[in-house]
Structure 1
Amino acid sequence: MGNIQQDTMPVIGDLRDFDHRSGNRLERWVFNHRPLFMLLMAMITLLLGYMMATRLELRPSFEKMIPQSQPYIKNFLENRQSLRGLGSSVRVVVENTQGDIFDPEYLNVLKQVNDELFLAEGVDRAWMKSLWSPAVRWTEATEEGFQGGPVMPDAYTGTPKDIEQLRQNINRAGIVGSLVASDFKSTMLIVPLLDKASATGHGIDYHTFSRMLEERLRDKIEYAGSGHKAGEEGKGHYKVRVIGFAKLVGDLIDGLIQVMMFFGLAVITSLVIIYLYTRCVRSTLLVVGCSLIAVVWQLGIVAWLGYAIDPYSVLVPFLIFAIGVSHAAQKMNGIMQDIARGTHKLVAARYTFRRLFIAGVTALLADAVGFAVLMLIDIPVIQDLAITASIGVAVLIFTSLLLMPVALSYVGVGSKAATRALKIDTRAAEHRGFGKLWDMLDRFTTPKWAMGTVLAALVLGIAGFMVSLNLQIGDLDSGAPELRADSRYNRDNAYITSHYALSSDLFAVMIKTAPEGCLNYQTLVQADRLAWELQQLPGVQATSSLVNAVRQITAGTFEGNPKLNSIQRNQNVLNYAAQQASVNAPELFNTDCSLMPVIAFLKDHKAQTLDAVVAVADRFAKENSSADRQFLLAAGSAGIEAATNIVVREANHTMLLYVYAAVTLFCLITFRSWRATVVALLPLVLTSILCEALMVVMGIGVKVATLPVIALGVGIGVDYALYLLSVQLQYQRQGMPLAQAYRNAVSFTGRVVGLVGITLAAGVVCWAWSPIKFQADMGILLTFMFLWNMLGALILIPALSFFLLRKVTPAAAKSTEPVVERVGVHS
C-alpha cells in the first residue's frame, strides 16, 4: 500500500541533515524562531485570558432578538413611545391555593407583590396594572351619569364591607379573565418594562430582574418557611407565577450557567477520544490544550471588542473547541506517523505543517463561510453569533494550524504511541485491523456497490425532501419553546393560559392619523371592521381597541340604551367618549390621539396562528390605508414574533444558497475540477435535506435558534471531503486507478475523518441534556449532521467517484501537487 507521507517526505532523523531554509516564508519564520513564537503566543493568551475574565459578560437584549430593519419592526420602534405595554413586559400571577382572592391576607400579600414590582428598577410604573393600581378602574352608567373609581376601594382596610365592595368593583370593571382569574383564585399584575433603566440609562439587565423576581417574590412569599429553593415547586399558602420576555431570558441564562458543565464534559470526552486514538498522554493534552487556548482567545477578543455573550452565542465556544480539536488531531496524526518512521520531531512537525496548512486553512475558510453567511440574517443576535464564531475560526489558524505543530516539535509523541501507530498502519497494509474496514470501503468504488449506494442515497433524498416540505417557520408549541415543556416557566404559562381568558400573545395593528384623527368616525369604523375580521380567525380569542370603549361609553351616556352601543356620527359624542376612555383605558390611544392600536389576543404564538393573522391584517392594511389613516403592522409580542418569522422564512433558503455557493467556490479552487466539486457537494446536499426532514419528525420549526444549524453543518461538514477527496485526486493524478487511489486516501485520512466526525459530534451531543430546549435541539441536529457528513464522505464519495472521477488526467498532477514535496536535505 502506498502512503502519501512516505512517498513524498524523506525520513530525516538527524537535524543536521535538514535544511532549515526550506519551506515557505511562513514556515521558516515560525519554526526557525520557535522560542520567540511560543513567547508571543503565551503573552497573547495571558492578555486575552485577562480580557475574558474581567470584561466578558452575559448581556441579552430584547431589541437584539428582533429584526430591526423589517418593516413591521420599524413601525413598532418608530411608534414605541405611544404603545406602552405592547413591548417587553412580564405578567405576574399570585394564586391563593387555600381560598380565593377575597381574603384579606391574600390581598395584603398581593399588595406586597405590587409594591415590590412598582419600585423595581426598569418598570414602567405609569402603565403597570393590578388590583392595587389606581389606573385599574370601574365605570358604570347611572341616572346621574357616569360613576367610577379605582377597583380597590380608596379606604380599604380589609373589613368584610371592603371585601364586598371590591367584589362589586371587579364585576363592574369587567376584568374577570384579564386581571382576575375565572375561578377567582388568583389575580394578575401586568408589568411593562422600559427600554432602559431610568437610574442608569443602560438597557435592563434581564438576568438581574429575573433574579429579583425569584428572591423578592418567590423566595419571600411562595417559599418562605417551606425549605424550598427558587425554581422548585413550593407548597406554601400562595403561589407566584411569572411569564414574559424578561423572565424567559433570565431562565435561559440560569440554564446557560448549568450548560457550562457540559463544556467540561465535552473537554473530558475529547480527552478520552483522543487518548484512545493516540495512547499518548502528552499529545492528547496538547491537542485539547491548544483547543482551549482557541476558546480563551475567542472570548477574550469578543470581550475586547465590546461584545457580550447571549443565550445564542454561548454555544459558539463549544463549536470552536470541537473544530479546534479536530484540526489539532490531524496535525498530531501526521507528526506521529512521521516520528514512528524515524523522523526527528521538529522535522516531522514541519512536514505536517507543509502537508496540511493549506488544506487546514481552506477547511477553516469553509467553516468561516458557514458562520459569515449568518450575517445575511437581519437579526442582531444572529449577526453577533456570526461575528463571534468568525473570530473563533480565525483564531484557530493560529492555535490549531500554527501553535499545535510548533508545540509538538518540542514535546513530540511517546515512543510507544509512535510504534503503535506504525504497527496499525502495517496491519492495515496486510488487510488486518483497520485494513478490513478499508477493504469494505473499497467496495464502494465497484459498479455494483456504487450503483446501489447512489440509488439508496437518491431514495433517501427524495423521501427526505417529501418530509421536509412540511417544515414550518416559527414555533410549533405553545408556551416558551426555548425551554422544556416541564420547565417552571412553561408550567406557569400553562396555568395562566387555562385560568385567564386573554393570553399574553398580543398582535397589534397600529392606526396612524393626524392629531385627533383617531376619533374620526371613518377611522373608528375601519378599526371596528378590522377587529371584526380578526375575530373571525380561530386563533384569535378577542380583540380590543378604542372602538370598544367608545361603544360602551356612548351607550352608558344614554342610560345604557343598547341601541346606542355603536359608533355615533356626532363628533361631540365621540369626543366625550374619548375623554372618558382616557381616564379608564389610556393605553388605547396616545396623548394627541394620532395613534391607536387594534389589539388581537391570540390563543398561542404558533407559526400557523401567526401566519393567518398576518395574512388578514396585511390584506386589510393594503386595501384600507390612505393619506388620512395608515394601518401599520405590527406591535405586541405576537406581532414581533410574526415579523421575526418573516425574516427567518426569507433568510432560510437565501442563506443556504449563499453557503453552498461559497463552498462550491472553495471546492473548485481546491480540486480544480467541477466533477470533484459535485462529488464533494452531493453528500452535503443529502445531509441538508435529511436534517430538515429530521426537524419535521422532531417537531422543530425553523426559527432564530435553529436557523444557523444547517449553515454550520454545511460549512463544517465539507471538511471531510476536502481532506479525503484532495488526497484521492492527488493519487489519481499520479496515475493510480480510482480503487487504489481511494484506498490510499482512506488509509491515510480515513481514521482522521472518523476521528474528526466523532470528536465534533462528541463536542455537541451533550447539549441534548441541556435544560434549554433550543440548545438540545441544536445539539441533536448538529450531531446528526456531523456524523452523517462523515458517513457521506466515506461512503458516497467513492460511489460518486465511480461515476464522475474514474478517469482523471495524470497531466494535471504537476499543477496540483502541493509545494510540500520540496523538502530540504543537506547533501
Structure 2
Amino acid sequence: MPTEPQSKTPRGLLSRLECRLFEYRKAVLWLLALFTVVMGWFALQLRMDAGFEKQLPIGHEYIDTFSTYRDDLLGANRLIVVVRARDGDIWSSDGLRRLYDVTQTVTYLPFVQRASVLSLWTPNAFVNEITEEGFRADPLVPGTVTPEHLGAEEISAIAHSTAQGGFVGTLVSRDQRSAMVSAELKEFDADGKRLDYMAFNRLLESELRQRFEDAAFEIQIIGFAKQVGDIAEGAVSVLEFCLLALLLTGLAVYWYCHSIRLTLLALGCSLASLIWQFGSLRLLGFGLDPLAVLVPFLVFAIGVSHGVQQINFIVREIALGKSTYDAARASFSGLLIPGVLALVTAFVSFITLWLIPIPMVRELAITASLGVGYKIITNLLMLPLVASMLTLGADYAQIAERSRQQRAHWLRGVAGLAQWSRARWVLTVAALLLGVAVWQSHGRVVGSLQAGAPELRSEARFNQDALAIASGYDIGLDWLSVVFEQDVGGCEQVALGQYQDRFVWAMQGVPGVLSVQSFSTAMRQYNEGYNEGNPKMNVVPVDPLNYSALANEVARKPGLMRADCSMTAAHLFLADHKAATISTVIDAVKAFRAEHSAAGIRIRLASGNAGVLAAVNEEVEKSELPMLLYVYAAIALLVFLVYRDWRAVLTCCLPLTIGTFIGYWFMKELQIGLTIATLPVMVLAVGVGVDYAFYIYNRLQLHLSHGQPIVKAAEHALLEVGVATIFTAITLAIGVATWAFSELQFQADMGLLLAFMFIVNMVMAMTVLPAFAVLLERIAPRRTPLRVSDALLH
C-alpha cells in the first residue's frame, strides 16, 4: 500500500473533503460496493416497457379531443392485418377461408375491442342496396354462408357485394389480391392489466404470421403495437453494439494509459453508475422504453469522457514523479470542480426535458438525470479513491512520461492556435461557419421525414408491409379525425351537415389527403339511396325531419357520430405521417375554422394517429427553444458562479453554440427529424460539449492565476488536457459510429449524429475556445491579476 504523504494543513472546504474521503477510503468504497450489489439485484429485474398512453402529450388540445371521444371515433391505437394471395386474387375458397380464420383469431386476441373488428366476415360490414322499397343494408357475407361451404356462386356474390358496397380499396385491395382485418386495441383489459407490447408482438407473430402464412398466402401486420414490438425486438441489437462500443473504448483507453488496471477502472466506474441507474428505475416503478433504450448508454459515454480526464490527470502526475496515491488525490481535487460543473450542467440539460408534457419524455428525463447524477459519485469520487489503492511502479512512470512528451510534441501545433496571429483566423472561420450553420439549419423538420416507421429500416418487414398496404388501398393508414360539436339534441339542425359538407369539399383538395369519410358524406349517400338512387339527391337534406331520420341511419356506422348528434366527425385519410403532410393538413383545418365559422358549431382538432403525432410534434417544437434557453442559462449561471468572470461565460458558451447549430445542419442534411427520440441526443451533445470546454477552461484559469499571459496560459491548458479531450472525442465517436450498422434506423441515425457531434464539439473546444479567450483578453484586458478559489489552485 502506498505511504500516506505528509501534506500541509488543508485549507478550504474542498481540502477538508479530500482529507476525510481519502482517510476513510476503504469504508467509503465498501459502502459503494455494497450499494452496487443491491442496485444490481434490482437492475436485473428491469424490463422493456412501452405504452401508447405514454406518448400522448398531457393537456394538449388534440389529446383532449382524442380522450373525450376515443370511444366514439376510430381509435389511434389500431391493428391492421392483411391476408394477401401470393398468386391470383383473394376470391377463392382458400382465400376467404384464410381471411375468416384470421378474423376469428384477431377477434379473440387479448386487449382487442371485439366490437371494433372489421373485415368481410364481420356483421358490421354491410352493403347498402337501393331497392324499389327503398334503402336496404345487408351483410357482405350472408349469415347462411359458412367458410366450409364456399362455392363459386357464393364467392361471386360476396365479390359483387364488396364492389357494390364500395369496399374495394377499403376492405379489399384495388388489385383484389388481398383483404384487410382491422381492430382497435385497449391499453388496459377488464382486470386493469396493462398491455405488454413486446408480449403482444410475439403473440401476433405466433398466432397470425407463423400460423397462417405459407407458400400460398402472405400475412402483413401493421399498427402501433406491431411497430413498438418490432422496435423492442430490434433493441436487442442496441446491447450488442453498445458492448462493441465498450470493447473499442476499452482498447482505446488501454492504448492511452498503457495500464490494464486503469483501463478497467475507467470502464468499471462508468458501468457502476449504469447499474445504479437501472436499479433506481426499477425501484421507481419504471421500465425501459424501447425508444429511450439508447439514453443509458449515451450517459455511459459521458462517464467514459470524465473517466479519461481523471486517468489523464493521474498519469500526468505520476509522470511528474508523484506516487499513485498523491496523483489520485491531486486528480480528485483538481478535477472535482470542473467535473461537477460539467455534470451538473448535463443534469440540468436533461431535467429540462421535463418541460415536454409527454410521459415518455419525462420518464426519459428522469432516466438520464439519474445516470448523470450518479456520475458525480462514480467518476469524480469512486475512481480516484480506487486509483489511490493501486501501485504503479517507476517503470510505468517512465513510460507515462515518455508518452506525455511524445503527445505534447505533436499537440504544440494545435496549442499554437492560441497565438493572436492564428487565433484571429480561427475566429474568422468560426464566425463564417456559425453564420452558414444558422442559415442552413433553417427549415429543419420537427417530426418524421419517412413515410413508414422512422425508427426501423426501410427494408424492415413492418415498413415493407406498410408500403404494400398503403399502395393497395384507398384509405390511408394514417388519418386525422376532426370533430364537430353542437348542442345535445341537435339531430334536426341541418346547418351542421351543410357546414361539414363545405369542410369536406375544402379538405379534399389539400395535398396529402387521399380521401374523406364523414357524417355529411354518409348523409349524402343515404339521401340518394332513399330517393331511388337519383344522383341529384346526393346532397345533405335541408328538411329537418328527413335530416333527423337519415342521422339515425348514419348512427349505425361506427366512428362517425354520437347518437344524440352532439358530435359528428370527418376522418381525413392521409398519404403518410410525414411531418410536412400532417402540418399541411392541420394548417388547412385551422384556416377553415378561422375563415368559416358557424353559430353553435365548434370544430375541434384532432383524433386519429395523425392527430396524436401532430400533438407530439407541436409539443416538441414548442419546447425546443425554451429548453435550449434554459440549458444555456444554466451553463452561464454555473460558469459565472464558479469562475466569477463574464469572460468565462462567453468563452465556454460560444463553441457550444457553434456546435449546436452545426448539429442541426447535420440533421437536416441527413434528413433526421427532431423527434422525442432524437431530442435527447441533441441535449446529450450539449452536455458532452460542455465537458470539453470546462476541462480546458479550468486549466486556462489556473495558469492565468499563476501570472502567465493569456497566450501561454491557453497553450499550457491545451497541452495538459488537449490529448485527453481529442482522445475521448475520437474514441467515443468510433464507438457510437458502429451503431450505423444497427437494424434500427433511429439507432443508426443517432450513432452518426453523436459521432459527428462528439468531433465537432471537440474541435470547437480545442480551437475556438482558446482563440476567443485571447480575443476577449485583447478587447477587455483584466485590470487586476486573476484570483481563483483555493479549490482551483489545489
Q: TM-score range by the shorter chain?
A: over 0.9
- Displacement of 1:812 in angstroms is 4.4
Give 1:754's aligned residue.
726
- Contact kept, 8 Å, 1:291 with 1:400, in 2: the verdict is yes
- Contact kept, 8 Å, 2:84 with 2:179, in 1: the verdict is yes
Structure 2 residue 472 is the aligned partner of structure 1 residue 499 = yes
Question: Of 14, 18, 25, which aligns to 1:27?
Answer: 18
Distance of aligned partners of 1:32 and 1:531 in 2 relative to their CA distance in 1, 3 Å threshold: same
Give 2:388's aligned residue.
409
- Contact kept, 8 Å, 2:426 with 2:768, in 1: the verdict is yes
- Contact kept, 8 Å, 1:153 with 1:162, in 2: the verdict is no
The TM-score normalised by the length of structure 1 is 0.92
Cα distance in structure 2, aligned partners of 1:759 and 1:810: 41
Give 2:685's aligned residue.
713
Structure 2 residue 169 is the aligned partner of structure 1 residue 177 = yes
Cα distance in structure 2, aligned partners of 1:547 and 1:136: 20
Task: For residues 392-413 of structure 1, give each alpha carbon's deviation from its aligned partner in whole angstroms, at most 9, with x where no partner exists.
Answer: 0111111111111111111244
Question: Of 709, 720, 728, which aligns to 1:737?
Answer: 709
What secondary structure does 2:71 align onto?
Answer: helix
Q: How does 1:73-88 map to 2 (within 5 A)?
A: 73-83=63-73, 85-88=74-77
Question: Which stretches in structure 1 are left out of the alignment for 5+ residues?
Answer: 1-11, 224-235, 822-827
Q: How does 1:197-276 map to 2 (within 5 A)?
A: 197-198=189-190, 200-223=191-214, 236-276=215-255
Give 1:469's aligned residue.
442
Cα distance in structure 2, aligned partners of 1:791 and 1:815: 27
Tell me which moved more, 385-394 or 478-487: 478-487
Cα distance in structure 2, aligned partners of 1:455 and 1:518: 70
Cα distance in structure 1, aligned partners of 2:787 and 2:220: 71
- Contact kept, 8 Å, 2:72 with 2:558, in 1: the verdict is no
Structure 2 residue 179 is the aligned partner of structure 1 residue 191 = no
Q: Which amino acid counterpart does residue 696 of structure 2 have in structure 1?
A: L
Tell me which moved more, 702-711 or 620-629: 620-629
Cα distance in structure 2, aligned partners of 1:704 and 1:173: 41
Q: Which amino acid counterpart does residue 506 of structure 2 have in structure 1?
A: E
- Displacement of 1:419 in angstroms is 2.2
Give 1:667's aligned residue.
639
Distance of aligned partners of 1:91 and 1:16 in 2 relative to their CA distance in 1, 3 Å threshold: closer
Distance of aligned partners of 1:288 and 1:219 in 2 relative to their CA distance in 1, 3 Å threshold: same
Q: Which amino acid counterpart does residue 196 of structure 2 have in structure 1?
A: D
Structure 2 residue 31 is the aligned partner of structure 1 residue 59 = no
Distance of aligned partners of 1:67 and 1:763 in 2 relative to their CA distance in 1, 3 Å threshold: farther
Question: Of 361, 369, 373, which aligns to 1:382?
Answer: 361
Question: Of 800, 810, 813, which aligns to 2:772?
Answer: 800
- Cα RMSD after superposing both structures: 2.0
Question: Of 99, 104, 107, which aligns to 1:110?
Answer: 99
- Contact kept, 8 Å, 1:320 with 1:392, in 2: the verdict is yes
Q: How does 1:378-457 map to 2 (within 5 A)?
A: 378-413=357-392, 415-425=394-404, 428=405, 433-457=406-430
Cα distance in structure 2, aligned partners of 1:490 and 1:511: 33
Q: How does 1:157-172 map to 2 (within 5 A)?
A: 157-172=149-164
- Displacement of 1:608 in angstroms is 2.0
- Displacement of 1:417 in angstroms is 3.4
Question: Of 644, 657, 660, which aligns to 2:616?
Answer: 644
Distance of aligned partners of 1:93 and 1:744 in 2 relative to their CA distance in 1, 3 Å threshold: same
What secondary structure does 2:463 align onto?
Answer: helix
Give 2:751's aligned residue.
779
Cα distance in structure 2, aligned partners of 1:322 and 1:811: 40
Give 2:35's aligned residue.
44
- Contact kept, 8 Å, 1:518 with 1:595, in 2: the verdict is no
Q: Which amino acid counterpart does residue 682 of structure 2 have in structure 1?
A: I
Cα distance in structure 2, aligned partners of 1:502 and 1:153: 25
Give 2:85's aligned residue.
96
Question: Of 557, 581, 588, which aligns to 1:609?
Answer: 581
- Displacement of 1:178 in angstroms is 0.8
Cα distance in structure 2, aligned partners of 1:300 and 1:49: 6
Cα distance in structure 2, aligned partners of 1:416 and 1:521: 94
Question: Of 685, 692, 697, which aligns to 1:725?
Answer: 697
Cα distance in structure 2, aligned partners of 1:283 and 1:53: 27
Cα distance in structure 2, aligned partners of 1:447 and 1:341: 30
- Contact kept, 8 Å, 1:507 with 1:638, in 2: the verdict is yes
Task: Tell me how many residue pairs correspond in the alignment.
Answer: 788
What secondary structure does 1:631 align onto?
Answer: strand
Cα distance in structure 1, aligned partners of 2:511 and 2:327: 70
Cα distance in structure 1, aligned partners of 2:504 and 2:675: 28
- Displacement of 1:221 in angstroms is 1.8
The TM-score normalised by the length of structure 2 is 0.96
Q: Which amino acid counterpart does residue 416 of structure 2 have in structure 1?
A: R
Task: For residues 249-280 of structure 1, give each alpha carbon's deviation from its aligned partner in whole angstroms, at most 9, with x where no partner exists.
Answer: 00110110121111211210111010000110
Question: Of 306, 324, 327, which aligns to 1:348?
Answer: 327
- Contact kept, 8 Å, 1:18 with 1:347, in 2: the verdict is no
Give 1:568's aligned residue.
541
Structure 2 residue 780 is the aligned partner of structure 1 residue 770 = no
Cα distance in structure 1, aligned partners of 2:638 and 2:21: 26
Cα distance in structure 2, aligned partners of 1:771 and 1:810: 59
- Contact kept, 8 Å, 2:437 with 2:661, in 1: the verdict is yes
- Contact kept, 8 Å, 2:238 with 2:294, in 1: the verdict is no
Distance of aligned partners of 1:251 and 1:20 in 2 relative to their CA distance in 1, 3 Å threshold: farther
Cα distance in structure 2, aligned partners of 1:412 and 1:344: 8
- Displacement of 1:476 in angstroms is 1.8
Task: For residues 201-233 of structure 1, give each alpha carbon's deviation from its aligned partner in whole angstroms, at most 9, with x where no partner exists.
Answer: 13311112211111111111225xxxxxxxxxx
Structure 2 residue 266 is the aligned partner of structure 1 residue 287 = yes
Distance of aligned partners of 1:796 and 1:16 in 2 relative to their CA distance in 1, 3 Å threshold: closer
Question: Of 276, 282, 290, which aligns to 1:311?
Answer: 290
Question: Which stretches in structure 2 are left out of the alignment for 5+ residues?
Answer: none
Cα distance in structure 2, aligned partners of 1:394 and 1:182: 56
Distance of aligned partners of 1:572 and 1:282 in 2 relative to their CA distance in 1, 3 Å threshold: same
Cα distance in structure 2, aligned partners of 1:195 and 1:13: 60
Task: For residues 739-795 of structure 1, give each alpha carbon's deviation from its aligned partner in whole angstroms, at most 9, with x where no partner exists.
Answer: 321222112111121232224324432322222212222221121111111111111
Cα distance in structure 1, aligned partners of 2:186 and 2:224: 13
Task: For residues 57-84 of structure 1, give each alpha carbon's deviation from its aligned partner in whole angstroms, at most 9, with x where no partner exists.
Answer: 111111211212211112211222222x
Overall identity of the aligned pairs, in %: 35
What secondary structure does 2:388 align onto?
Answer: helix
Q: How does 1:519-668 map to 2 (within 5 A)?
A: 520-583=493-556, 585-624=557-596, 628-668=600-640
Cα distance in structure 2, aligned partners of 1:353 and 1:518: 76
Task: For residues 643-671 of structure 1, give each alpha carbon's deviation from its aligned partner in whole angstroms, at most 9, with x where no partner exists.
Answer: 22211221122221211111121222233
- Displacement of 1:571 in angstroms is 2.2
What secondary structure does 2:183 align onto?
Answer: strand
Question: Of 455, 460, 481, which aligns to 2:433?
Answer: 460
- Displacement of 1:16 in angstroms is 5.7
Cα distance in structure 1, aligned partners of 2:569 and 2:53: 21
- Contact kept, 8 Å, 2:479 with 2:610, in 1: the verdict is yes
Task: For residues 143-165 of structure 1, give each alpha carbon's deviation from its aligned partner in whole angstroms, at most 9, with x where no partner exists.
Answer: 12222221112122211121111
Cα distance in structure 2, aligned partners of 1:477 and 1:315: 21
Q: Which amino acid counterpart does residue 119 of structure 2 have in structure 1?
A: S
What secondary structure does 1:128 align onto?
Answer: strand
Cα distance in structure 2, aligned partners of 1:498 and 1:346: 69
